[in-house]
Structure 1
């Protein structure tokens, strides 16, 4: 498939990486190389936990001495998110579906809807950028948060989604908010974590397609499926495997840098083909609750470690 064909079906790429030196020196060039297909970015607590240890943050950290660790984190992270939003703003102005960068609510609030809503509103107002998306984990409390934020016209990235049931609950929360808001929303479906958990190379893809079909069935022009956790960890799979296998209409793939660069190179050389792996495994073998609990714990641990380091 070509860049033009992928654009025609409404497929997009987002960069699953936000870090100051990258934004200052490489992100702009990468957006140019993306030819309009690369039109967004995502962050998460694990990405920031690693990024904020870089020496590129030392000067700003020193200027924030005396603040509590979460305030320091927010000053550092918000600076990066604001810069990414500004770099993506021309794409967003040209097409309101594009040009988003996302930042996650404190993962320790995942079961506290009122505090999560307050924090999501505060983050969005503080950043004051229309193309910032607030990431909300798909927990029981999270569905209430998604609805409340979207109803306030705050773009929402529903994250840590593993199951069709979670997908349906997210879309139902979006649908309730659509009476008041046409803000953009995405459903972040995690893919490779399922394969790594079950020693598979196809189960995560089959499951992701089932979740994608659920998103599509709601026929909401302002909500899209976003395939996340699309990095290849070990094995003989090419870095673009979880992109090649999910080149679907009206979908987004947020990919780590190595996969993103490899895929854009394939597009440049005309070597991009959709891969359709055959899966004979049954989705009901997946322990979705365990995967969600592990995902939440990983984000909480990263967030805690980062705050401790500040």
Structure 2
């Protein structure tokens, strides 16, 4: 549902939300679809993950030459070679956005191997390696917010490397991510790093929360449980934004900001609607506030553009109601702490499965 200011997407952007496309492939370079989205000011960044690259490499022969050119029989080395090449090229495509936004947007993420999710030292080491290989100032290294990932995030930020922290489901873990970011900045100051060049986003997952909570509510099966369906995802993200606001009001943050630090922006991930009964734009229009990023699959971007309703800031003023949602969810019999434990564990497992699928796809292509 368009408005007089250039449409729903433009209004969302003007309200302080950066829309980053959750998709990247060589085909997008070849067919001009990425350039078109940028030219229309509909996306100002892009994120990737193993599933995205697996799908891209599986769909046709566009990567065959690049895999051969990697000059290795090792599927992981070949996979990283093509991912680094694509991410570096996307960084160049987004360079004008990066420069125009003074580094805020125009960002492209590349993920460390999910196999390292529980290995702090290996994650930190690979983060440095990938940063050097991409060699673009608007790159971001994606690190999961596992317990082992937290000190790796601190170490990577301390090296002056921009980080996209992924797989955050709980407010408790989000607070730990914020602490890890600030700790990294404090180490960077001690090492005379230029804090103004370090950027980070904290990827808070949305739709997966609804999927798991709604499954448990359906098992409970009473009217009170049914009334809570599809409310937890938005409520959890909105309370995360409250945590973000609290963090940047602290004296600790004020000291870092005075030294040139940039805020770690909340990023809404998993924003494609899983329940067909919900509007496809729910997790975009429902999470509008200043200084956030929303990573959107193209399908979600288009349905928001064509059918979405812009209601202004949909986060401020919701904290009390959002907290009540969780009080009601717990009262109904859903252990939300267990929900987030399950989601993190499953999230890591799904990323590992996607990574292994990607390696199998690459291995098959190399054998041809």
Structure 2-normalised TM-score? 0.78
**Residue number in structure 2 paired with 1:254:** 295
* Pairing 1:103-122 to 2, within 5 Å after superposition: 103-122=110-129
Larger Rg: 2
**Residue number in structure 1 paired with 2:310:** 272
* Pairing 1:1-310 to 2, within 5 Å after superposition: 2=5, 6-25=12-31, 26-34=33-41, 38-55=43-60, 56-64=62-70, 66-95=72-101, 96-179=103-186, 180=188, 181-182=195-196, 183-199=198-214, 200-219=229-248, 221-265=262-306, 271-274=309-312, 281-282=325-326, 285-286=335-336, 287-310=339-362
Deviates more, 1:204-213 or 1:282-291: 282-291
**Residue number in structure 1 paired with 2:257:** none
Asked whether the 8 Å contact 1:97–1:222 carries over to 2, the reply is: no
Q: Give distance in 2, aligned partners of 1:4 and 1:296.
A: 34
Q: CA deviation at 1:281?
A: 3.3
SS of 2:109 mapped into structure 1: strand
Structure 1 stretches of 5 or more lacking a match? none
Q: CA deviation at 1:109?
A: 0.5
* Residue-pair matches, total: 305
Q: Give distance in 2, aligned partners of 1:169 and 1:205.
A: 21
Structure 2 stretches of 5 or more lacking a match? 189-194, 215-228, 254-261, 363-368
Deviates more, 1:193-202 or 1:1-10: 1-10
CA 67–207 in structure 1, closer or farther in 2 if over 3 Å, else same: same
**Residue number in structure 1 paired with 2:259:** none
Over aligned residue pairs, what C-alpha RMSD do you find? 2.1
Q: CA deviation at 1:266?
A: 5.3
Structure 1-normalised TM-score? 0.92
Asked whether the 8 Å contact 1:33–1:264 carries over to 2, the reply is: no
